[in-house]
Amino acid sequence: MSAFTQSVILQVGINVLLAVGYWIAVSTGRYSFGHVGFVAIGAYTSSILTENFSWPLPSALLAAAAAATVGGVLVGFMALRLPMLYLAIITLAFSSVIVIIANEWDYVGGPIGMFGMDGTSIPLVFTCLAIVVVYLLLLSRSRLGLAYSAIREDDQAARASGIRVTRVAVSAFATSAAVTGVAGALIAHQQGVIQPEQFGPQASLLVILYVVLGGVQYFWGAALGAIVLTLLPIYLNWLADWYQIVYGLLFIVLMIARPQGLIGRRNDSSRTADLLRRFQRRREEGETVG
């Protein structure tokens, strides 16, 4: 296998992990506009541990997930009880604060960043991805997964049915942060360099677009979006210099013409009612949530 092919496979695998990680938060209908902040936390946490303390990469991945989870709980608890506009503002501000801290913190190289990380491999990336996919498959068959979907479809009806909306949404946000933190660690140890400018608003837009393109109803929609948008700039040379503009326009078009994405269908009351009936049936069977 050529070095180019290995690089493409790694990039696709990491971006799919990033997309499905972000999807976990979006599956409750909560769009974060600063999720790349958790990517940065994972990238810097793992890089500090491997470069400054000689930790093995697998252990650093777990630490990156833990650090991002803590950030996810704190941000989620503050933001997810508020309307969508405030959620967008708070998460965007959070990612901006992370970038400012990284720029000003000499220990992590400031604006120059950190260098020398390595160790990301195809088996490691796809092992992480397999673990997350298995979790998501189990989630989709659980009462918690039904709660996520019910909240996304109609959070008021979900609340009236006994779902603790804020608690469930925060748990989804924290899990999402953990997965994207691992993706950030893998990015750092694949590229060998991380700099604060990598985690700006344009990176957040790209992560959102992965999910918007594929669709929010199923995690494989997010995976499809990541695959398509990762491969396009690689194999369409002209797009490499224009992808930010093209992707921005694509985001606008999708939100207007097909907000449910390529895979998915529009929300309707019958679907919401069906989700709530299934949720109630699971509750009667004794499965607990939250």
- Segment 109-142, tens digit of pLDDT: 999 999 999 999 999 999 999 999 999 999 988 8
Statement: residue 288 has pLDDT above 60: no
Q: Which of 75-89, 130-144, 168-182, 210-224 has the lowest mean pLDDT?
A: 75-89
pLDDT-derived band at 79, boundaries 50, 70, 90? confident
The answer for residues whose C-beta is within 8 angstroms of residue 3's C-beta and 6 or more apart is none
How confident is the model at residue 284, as a pLDDT?
Answer: 57
How confident is the model at residue 163, as a pLDDT?
Answer: 84
- In angstroms, what CA-CA distances link 265 with 32, 193, 216, 260? 22, 40, 10, 6
The more confidently predicted of residues 2 and 175 is 175
How confident is the model at residue 143, as a pLDDT?
Answer: 86
Average pLDDT, the chain: 86
CA–CA dist 123, 126 (Å, integer): 5
Record the pTM: 0.87
Q: Domain 3-284 classified CATH 1.10.3470? A: yes
How confident is the model at residue 286, as a pLDDT?
Answer: 57
Write the pLDDT tens digit of every residue in 211-264: 888 888 889 889 998 998 898 888 777 666 676 677 777 777 776 776 666 665
> Hey, where are the domains in the chain?
3-284
| Tokens 């269908």 -> residue | 265
How confident is the model at residue 255, as a pLDDT?
Answer: 67
How confident is the model at residue 269, as a pLDDT?
Answer: 47
pLDDT-derived band at 96, boundaries 50, 70, 90? very high
**Phi-psi category of 87—alpha, beta or left, where left has phi over 0 and alpha has psi -120 to 50?**
alpha
The answer for residues whose C-beta is within 8 angstroms of residue 206's C-beta and 6 or more apart is 229, 247
pLDDT-derived band at 202, boundaries 50, 70, 90? confident
Statement: residue 290 has pLDDT above 60: no
How confident is the model at residue 276, as a pLDDT?
Answer: 57
How confident is the model at residue 73, as a pLDDT?
Answer: 94
Paired tokens of 199: 């985690």
How confident is the model at residue 264, as a pLDDT?
Answer: 57
- State whether residue 124 is helix, strand or coil: helix
Mean pLDDT of 47-64: 97
Statement: residue 32 has pLDDT above 80: yes
114 backbone dihedrals φ, ψ, rounded to 5°? -115, 145
* H helix or E strand, kind and range, residue 193: strand 193-194
Statement: residue 184 has pLDDT above 80: yes
Residue 192: how many other CB atoms lie within 10 Å: 14
How confident is the model at residue 249, as a pLDDT?
Answer: 79
pLDDT-derived band at 278, boundaries 50, 70, 90? low
How confident is the model at residue 166, as a pLDDT?
Answer: 86
- State whether residue 215 is helix, strand or coil: coil
